[in-house]
Structure 1
Amino acid sequence: MEEVNNRIVKSANNTYINECGASHKEAILFLHGSGPGASAWSNWQYIMPEFGEKFHCIAPDLIGFGKSNHPENPPKGMRNWMRLWIDQIISLLDELKLEKVHMVGNSMGGAISLQLLMDFPDRFNRVVLMGPAGAPTTITSELDRTWGYYDDPSPELMANIISWFSYDNSFIGDQLGEIAKMRHEASSDPNIRRSFEAMFPAPRQQHLDELIIPNGSLRNMNHPILIIHGQEDLLVNVETSHYLIKHLPNAQMHIFGHCSHWTQIEYKESFHFLLKEFFEKNY
């Protein structure tokens, strides 16, 4: 297992990154999702130490999340945030002198990955989309409550959100209340709250709609893409991945049964195996 380090990369937008693996190895960029209090580390803490043995792994906190910048006057609307994130990622790759990287995008990070492929196709190689947004779908009540967390934030609601992210909460054991309390306290940071509320004001269907990648752009993406989704995903309906597989010309898909939104946690070993095969053996 490789040790994961973290630092601030100073570029156009100062970005907090988690990083492991030697810089001469093939690089994988990991993009996190959008839950309240989410960060790169909360999404990728299990996979990075293992994959750092063979890859140079970089997992940034997106602007408005974790320890990266939180604008004093945050943009309004998902399109404006998306532009900010795209600029952040490309500036980060430039600063790290990474001409071309593999990429793994989780949920909203999957939609950001697709936008990056559309805008900067030559900067990316093989791509994994996990429970991705970016396709037409109706917002679920669970995602609506998750993005609306700050309407009435509480440890109890945070516990509900955590339970929605997994099909079977037994792996959490009796720690759900403690984990929810910690995540609630982390999400109470005024900078995090200001950013999150600016990202996802009601009505929230509009934000999913603004993440949609046009069909013509999807058909022009010739990158090898692996789509992974949980059949019982309560946050992003599995229909989004079925839609993407129909329009992406060089994609394959793996669906985990009895799994919700946290495939990288609920099926950790299988998830790691799929990514290793995809990145190492180029199947």
Structure 2
Amino acid sequence: MDTSNVPVERTTLRAGPYRTYLYRARAGREPAVLFLLGSGPGVSAWANWQFALPALGQRFDCLAPDLVGFGQSEHPDPPLQGMDAWMRAWLEQLIALLDLVGIERAHVVGNSMGGAIALHLLWRHPERVRSAVLMGTIGVPFQITPGLDGTWGFYDEPTLERLTQIFRWFVYDPERVGGDLEAIARQRYESTQEPNARRSFAAMFPAPRQRHLDELVVPDDALVSIQQRVLLVHGRDDQIIPLDTSLYLLQRLPRVQLHVFGQCSHWTQIEYRDAFNRLIADFIAGEL
């Protein structure tokens, strides 16, 4: 894959009832690839996909929205209550976004909670999804890990030290992300203190948090009926979402592949950015 990057457009749209901030890289006009963010404190689509969009935008039309309740998109006030209500809002936002920009079907790349949203798209709106890449995904039954409980519980103690600890869980080898996790945490910390983001995140993930995972589960009878190609990507040493979640899906999705990165935790798309981008490009192009 060409190592040159393409510019990333930033625009604000109204996707259905929701103000939606969208990052888009599209030197390659076809096909469309929709990137879905995960659920770290202070996260945005750009924080998750800053290395993927400029690279993959060479070949594809890459769209990465801030989901409702994250980044610069709509923050309902009062906030929604219950994971089912948030999921309905995210699906409504995404379908409206595809309609707005004239995309009938897209490949979908979901990170962590974004993987669960991608699974729900495959289940509830299969006609809009060409294929899916699920990275360190949730959406299947498992016991919440201390890392995920601590990440979703950030606002119990919203300090720079706590955020730095979360990033230690996210990364296997800090040298792969520049070596200074506290500096990365300082860059992110300001966004965690933005009032709208703080209110939305706290409303999404109040304790006890196992129930939020359970509400995101896609039932087995839906999983076995999914006919799109699916690529599972996971870090073997993921301290947030265990590899077992991808192994669970491997046993149930009909047209599925699994790629595991050793010496890698939850930030596959950052720790192994070049390999991740090549993997995604080859899969979307049907070359994998």
Q: Could you say which TM-score interval applies, normalised by the shorter chain?
A: over 0.9
The Cα offsets for residues 80-134 of structure 1, whole Å up to 9 and x where unpaired, read as 1101100010011011110011110000000000001111101110110000001
RMSD (Å), alpha carbons: 1.1
Instruction: Select the residue among 117, 123, 132 that pairs with 1:127.
Output: 132
Matched, 1:223 2:228: yes
Q: Kindly indicate whether the alpha-carbon contact (under 8 Å) linking 2:28 and 2:59 is maintained by their aligned counterparts in 1.
A: no
Distance across 2 between alignment mates of 1:143 and 1:252: 25
Q: Which runs of 5+ in 1 are unaligned?
A: none
Residue of structure 2 in register with 1:4 after alignment: 8
Identity percentage of aligned residues: 48
The offset of 1:60, in angstroms, is 0.3
Hey, what's the Cα distance between the residues in 1 that align with 2:29 and 2:55? Answer: 17
The reply on whether 1:66 has 2:71 as its aligned counterpart is yes
| 1:273 shift after superposition | 1.5
Q: Is residue 153 from structure 1 mapped to residue 153 from structure 2 by the alignment?
A: no
2:53 maps to what in 1? 48
Distance in 2 between residues matched to 1:161 and 1:127, nearest whole Å: 27
- The 8 Å contact of residues 141 and 217 in structure 2, kept in 1 or not, is answered as yes
Structure 1 residues 80 and 223, CA gap change in structure 2 (3 angstroms): same
- What TM-score do you get using the length of structure 2 for normalisation? 0.96
Look up the match of 1:209. 214
**Higher deviation after alignment, 271-280 or 204-213:** 271-280
Q: Separation in 2 of the partners of 1:254 and 1:14?
A: 35
Corresponding letter in the other structure for 1:222: Q
**Residue in structure 1 matched with residue 35 of structure 2 by the alignment:** 30
Contact 2:167/2:185 (CA < 8 Å) preserved in 1?
yes
1:240 corresponding residue in structure 2:
245
User: Tell me, what secondary structure is at the counterpart of 2:132?
Assistant: strand
Query: Cα deviation per residue 1:30-87 (whole Å; 9 max; x = unaligned)?
Result: 0010000011000101011111111100000000000000011111111111011000
Q: Which runs of 5+ in 2 are unaligned?
A: none
Cα distance in 2 for partners of 1:101, 1:132 equals 19
User: What amino acid is the match of 1:109?
Assistant: G
Distance 1:22 1:272 in 2: 16
AA in 2 matched with 1:3: P
Normalised to the residue count of structure 1, the TM-score between the two structures is 0.97
CA distance in 1, matches of 2:183, 2:280: 31
- Residue 175 (structure 1) shift: 3.0
Q: Deviations over 1:245-265 (max 9, x none)?
A: 101001110111111001111
Q: For 1:247, what is the secondary structure of its paired residue?
A: coil
Q: Distance in 1 between matches of 2:35 and 2:273?
A: 16
Which region of structure 1 is more displaced relative to structure 2, 165-174 or 125-134? 165-174
Residues 54 and 23 of structure 1: is their aligned pair in 2 closer, same or farther, counting only changes over 3 Å? closer
Kindly report structure 1 stretches of 4+ aligned residues shifted beyond 4 Å: none
Per the alignment, residue 180 of structure 1 pairs with 185
Bigger mean CA deviation after superposition, 98-107 or 6-15: 6-15
